[in-house]
Structure 1
Amino acid sequence: MKINKGVKVTLLLISIAWLLKILEWSLGVDLYHLGIYPRNRLGTFGILFHPFIHGGFKHLFSNTVSFAILCFSLYFFIPKVATKVLWKLSIYSGILVWIFARPSFHIGASGVIYGIASFLFFIGLFQKNPGSLIISLCIAVLNHGMLVGLVPQEDGISWESHLSGSIVGFFLAYYYRKVETTFSQQKQVEVDEDISYEGYRNLENEHFKYHYHPKDDN
C-alpha cells in the first residue's frame, strides 16, 4: 500500500508541473509570476504554487528526476508522516524564501527536493538505528553534489530555496525523530512472527519456576 501511495503521489505532483509547463509552451505564456517574490504581498501566492512552476523544460526535467527518486523514498521509508512532511517542506521553506531571499521570482521544486534529502539524511542520524543510517548513507552518496547548491554560485539559481528547504528538512527530521520507519516496522513484524511461531513465551526467572507434578493414577 505504501508503495502504491508513494507512486501515485509522486506521479500526481510531477504531472501537475508538466501540465503547467506544456500549457505555458502551447499558449505562449509565462507563469513565473506565480513564483515567490520576497517581501511582496502578491508574492505570497508563490508559497503555494512555486514548486510547480519551472523556467524551462531542462529545469523541469532535472527536477523531475530528483523529485521522483526522493519523493518515492520518503513514502517508502517514512510512510506514516510522508504527506505531512511534504506539504510542510513546501510551505515552510517557501515562507523562509519570502522573508529572506533576494527580490526576484523564485520558482521550481528544488527547495522541496533539498528538503526531502535533508529530512531523510538527518532522521537517519537522529534515530541511530542501522536501518535509518542506511537511508542517511544512501542520501549522502547519491546527493553529495547538492551541497554546492547551498551557496551563491550563478545567476538564475535560487540557492535561497535550496538552503531554506535543507533547514526545514533538518528541523522536521528532529521533530519526527521518533516516528516509525520501514526498518522499525519490519523489525516488529519479525518479532511478532517469532512469537506466533513458537506459540509460547518463557516467563521463568529466578523468582518463578515451572514445576511439573505428574498425576499419580495409582
Structure 2
Amino acid sequence: MTSGISHIDQVGGEKNRMVRSMIIPLAFVVVMWLVKSVEMFFDFDFARYGIFPLTLKGLRGIILSPFIHGDLKHLLNNSIPILVLGSALFYFYREVAKTVLVLSIVITGLWVWVFAREAFHIGASGVVYSLAAFLFSSGVIRRHPRLMAISLLVAFLYGSMVWGIFPIRERVSWESHLMGMVSGVILAMHFRQYGPQRKKYTWELEAEEEEEAMADDFAEKVIRSLEEDHSIPPEEPGGFSSDPNVKFNYKPKDKPDE
C-alpha cells in the first residue's frame, strides 16, 4: 500500500514539474502573440524596434526583437519551437534554464547587432536556434542517457533547421540563425558541469584518479628539474672560480738565437 502511494506521489510530482517547466516558455509565446495582436489591431509596425546593426537605437532590439514578427506565419513557426524547446530546457536543465534562456537572447542579439547586415532583424528564430543547439550539444557533451535521447529528438524534429544558417533566402535573417546556433553550443560547453550528470562507474573513477596522480607526479618532476637547473653548484677545491672575471697571464715567447 505504501509503495502504491509513493508511486502516485512520484507521478504527481513529475506532472507538476512538467507543468512548471512550461510556464516561462508559454509566457514567452503569449507575449509574442500579444505584440502581434497590438500590431494588427492598432495598425502598428514594430519592425523598427528590431535589431539594426551598429546603431544605438538598434541595441534595443536585442531584448525586443524576439517578440516581434513579420506576419502570422513567421509568428507561428517560432511559437511551437519556443514552447517545445523551452519546456525541455526548463524540465531537464531547471538549475540553469533561466540563465541559458536570458543569455541566448542577449548573446545572440548582441552578435547580430555587431555582425549582421544593415536591416531590421526581428523574430525569435535566433533564440530557437540557440535552444536547439544547447539541448543537442549538451546531451552529446554530457553523454547522459536521457539527455542524449533529447539530443536525438531535437535532431529528428529540428535537424532541417541547419539549412537556415546559410544565406539562401534574402529576406530571412540567417545571421540570427547562425549566431543563435553558435551561442547555444558555447552555452552547452560552459554549463556542462551544471544539471544532470552521467553516472560514472568505479573503473572510470579509478582511471581519473590514476591520471590525476600521474599528472601530479609529472608536475613535481618538472618543478624539481627546474629547481636543479637554476641552482648554483658549490665550488670544488681546485675547480673553477665563480668569479666571472677571467684573468690571463701573458708571457712572451723567447726569440730564437740568430
Give the TM-score range, shorter chain.
0.7 to 0.9
Q: Deviations over 1:30-59 (max 9, x none)?
A: 000110000111100000101000001111
Say whether residues 1:130 and 2:171 are aligned partners. no
Amino acid at match of 1:143: Y
- What corresponds to 2:71 in structure 1? 56
Q: Is the partner of 1:154 in helix, strand or coil?
A: coil
The answer to whether residue 111 in structure 2 is matched with residue 117 in structure 1 is no
Backbone CA RMSD of aligned residues: 1.3
How far 1:179 moved relative to its partner?
A: 1.5
Paired AA for residue 17 in structure 1? M
Deviations 1:153-189 (A, max 9, x none): 11221000000010000010001111123x86xx7xx
- Alpha-carbon distance, 1:129 to partner: 2.4
> CA–CA distance in 1 between the matches of 2:28 and 2:148?
28
**In 2: Cα distance, 1:7 partner to 1:130 partner:** 23
**Counterpart contact for 1:125–1:136, Cα < 8 Å:** yes
Post-superposition Cα deviations, 1:191-217, rounded to whole Å, max 9, x if no partner, equal: xxxxxxxxxxxxxxxxxxxxxxxxxxx
1:11-160 aligned at under 5 Å gives the runs: 11-160=26-175
Equivalent pair of 1:2/1:79 in contact (CA under 8 Å): no
Unaligned runs of 5+ in 2: 1-15, 200-258
Amino acid at match of 1:129: H
Contact map agreement 1:17 1:53 (CA 8 A) in 2? yes
- State how far apart, in whole Å, the 1-side matches of 2:96 and 2:186 are: 14
Deviations 1:41-86 (A, max 9, x none): 1100000101000001111011111111111111111111111100
Give the whole-Å Cα distance in 1 for the aligned partners of 2:119 and 2:110: 14
- Counterpart position of 1:3: 18
CA contact (8 A) 2:134 2:187 kept: yes
Partner SS, residue 68 of structure 1: helix
| Greater C-alpha radius of gyration | 2
* Identity level (%): 38
Of structures 1 and 2, the one with the larger relative CO (CA 8 A, separation 6+) is 1
1:96 CA drift (Å): 0.3
- Report if the CA contact (8 A) 1:10-1:72 is conserved: yes
**Residue in 2 aligned with 1:177?**
192
Alignment partners' CA distance in 2, 1:65 and 1:23: 20
- The question of whether the paired residues in 2 share the 8 Å contact of 1:51 and 1:107 is answered with yes
Q: TM-score scaled to structure 2, two decimals? A: 0.69
Does the 8 Å CA contact 2:51/2:62 hold for their aligned counterparts?
yes
What is the total number of aligned residue pairs between the two structures?
Answer: 184
In structure 2, the CA distance between the partners of 1:11 and 1:129, relative to structure 1 (3 Å rule), is closer
Distance 2:110 2:184 in 1: 14
Note the residue ranges of structure 1 that are not aligned, 5 or more in a row.
188-218
